[in-house]
Amino acid sequence: MIATRRIPRPGTAALLFTCLFAVQAAFLTIAPILPELSKDFGVSTAAGGQLRSVSGLAGLAAALVAIAFRRTIGVRRLLTWGLAALTTGALLSSAAPSFAALAAAQVPVGFGLAFVLAGGLAAAAEWTAPEDRPRVLAWTLLGQPGAWVAGMPIIGLVADVDWRLAFAVPFTAAATALIAVRRRARGREREVGGAEVGSGTSIWRRPDVVGWAVGELMAFTAWSGVLVYIGALMIESYELSTRTTGLLLAAAAAAYFPASFATQRFIAKHARTVLITLGLTAATGTALLGTLRPGALFTTILFALIVAAVGGRTLSASAFGLQSAPDDRVAISAVRAAMTQLGYFSGAALGGAALAAGGYSALTHVLAGAFVLAVVPHIALVIAAAKRRPAPVPA
């Protein structure tokens, strides 16, 4: 049996937090600068939002590569390659001379998003002892809202000078994480042949995994659509500056933290119930987001409630996915990355079409419907399991 080594527990959560911070910083940069870059390049806001479609397709391809070659790539390489791709994409984006060049720069961004997501989630399980996994997984996922809280105000500040400067934030975050990963001594990353790469049974033969994957695709379609267009919604609805919008979105993103911590205690036994409940909550809030717009403060509070629901749902869904295939965590993490990237593509495309056809009200109702569809597979599996359960024998 091939021996394994552990990364010492202190610092693991911080390292993975930084990796996911870089992922979200790379994703969210477009949101507050979308109206300005679209104007500079002479395209509509809906067309500009399709930048996320490009990165989504590239990320989907990268995630499929990670699934197919998980036995040879490994968690550490996924993180290293992904962070290097994010830094490259940020540099190319900041120097793009045209909209086509900016779109091309989203290809390495998409690769990086997929690889770091897959590697980070797998590492949260593989580099920690079982009793530490809920805590480390929670801190890993908190890297994403952390980028909103800390990164969005900076993006808004520098984008007021020039929207191209906004890409300095994901570049710095990814470069910092890359240095940390490269300098980190090898730890609890199992070598080829370890249990993390699976027992040979296809994960697609497991109904729980398939239902979970479909649900994640729908959830990320909805959430990515919200994230891509929320900045434009606030700027165009209330005539806010990029700086003010960044500060408001950062304040709303802080709701992710208490929601995630509050959810930790329930995910071991009730992960599916929590993700169904919070998924429907996110759907309700999203439907109201484009319909009720009495003022910027109201929209910020409503967005914060959606963030809280998504925060708890994401942690629950990640835990459920890892529980559904504990013998192949790299594959599960790569599947989640694939669903995330496909969701980025479909969310930007679907959202852009809805926005062009019916404005922000149509946009948010379509995205709310995607949140509802995300819980349907889980409800169906719960009903199917209840039907298979033998009836109690009368006393």
Burial (0-12, 13-18, 19+ Cβ within 10 Å), 327: middle
Question: Which amino acid belongs to residue 11?
Answer: G
**pLDDT value at position 286?**
95
Residue whose tokens read 């709303």: 252
* pLDDT above 90: residue 362: yes
Residues 6 or more apart whose Cβ sits within 8 Å of residue 123:
12, 16, 75, 79, 140, 189
pLDDT tens digits, one per residue of 209-267: 888 889 999 999 999 889 888 888 998 889 888 788 878 888 888 888 888 888 877 77
**Contact in structure between 114 and 337 (CB atoms under 8 Å):** yes
Share of the chain above pLDDT 70, in %: 88
**Contact in structure between 38 and 329 (CB atoms under 8 Å):** no
Question: Which amino acid belongs to residue 67?
Answer: I
Give the integer Cα–Cα distance in Å for 365 and 77: 40
**pLDDT value at position 5?**
42
What letter would DSSP give residue 148? I
Confidence band for 371, pLDDT divided at 50, 70 and 90: very high
**Contact in structure between 219 and 367 (CB atoms under 8 Å):** no
**Contact in structure between 306 and 296 (CB atoms under 8 Å):** no
Mean pLDDT of 25-45: 85
- Radius of gyration for the chain, computed over Cα atoms and rounded to the nearest angstrom: 20
* pLDDT above 70: residue 152: yes
Confidence band for 35, pLDDT divided at 50, 70 and 90: confident
List the domain boundaries for the chain.
Answer: 12-388
- Identify which has the larger pLDDT, 170 or 390: 170
Tokens at 65, concatenated = 């590569």
Closest CA to 128 of 9, 15, 268: 9
pLDDT tens digits, one per residue of 287-323: 999 888 889 999 999 999 999 999 889 888 888 887 7
pLDDT tens digits, one per residue of 170-205: 999 999 999 888 877 454 444 333 334 444 446 677
Strands (E), the chain: none
pLDDT tens digits, one per residue of 36-62: 888 889 888 778 877 877 887 888 888
* pLDDT above 60: residue 269: yes
Helix (H) or strand (E) holding 180: helix 168-183
* pLDDT above 60: residue 361: yes
* pLDDT above 90: residue 284: yes
DSSP string, 135-195: HHHHHHHHHHHHIIIIIHHHHHHHHTT-GGGGGHHHHHHHHHHHHHHHHSPP-S-PPTTSG
* pLDDT above 70: residue 10: no
CA-CA-CA-CA dihedral for 53, 48, 90, 148, to nearest 10: -90
**pLDDT value at position 190?**
44
**pLDDT value at position 154?**
83
**Topology of the domain comprising 12-388:** Growth Hormone; Chain: A; (1.20.1250)
Cα 145 → chain centroid: 10
Residue whose tokens read 């759907």: 283
**pLDDT value at position 81?**
93
**pLDDT value at position 13?**
82
pLDDT tens digits, one per residue of 77-99: 889 999 999 999 999 999 999 99
Report H helices in 69-98: 70-94
- Per the prediction, the chain carries an average pLDDT of 82
CB count within 10 Å of CB 133 equals 18
Taking the CA atoms of 149, 212, 280 and 63 in sequence, report the sign of the dihedral they define.
positive
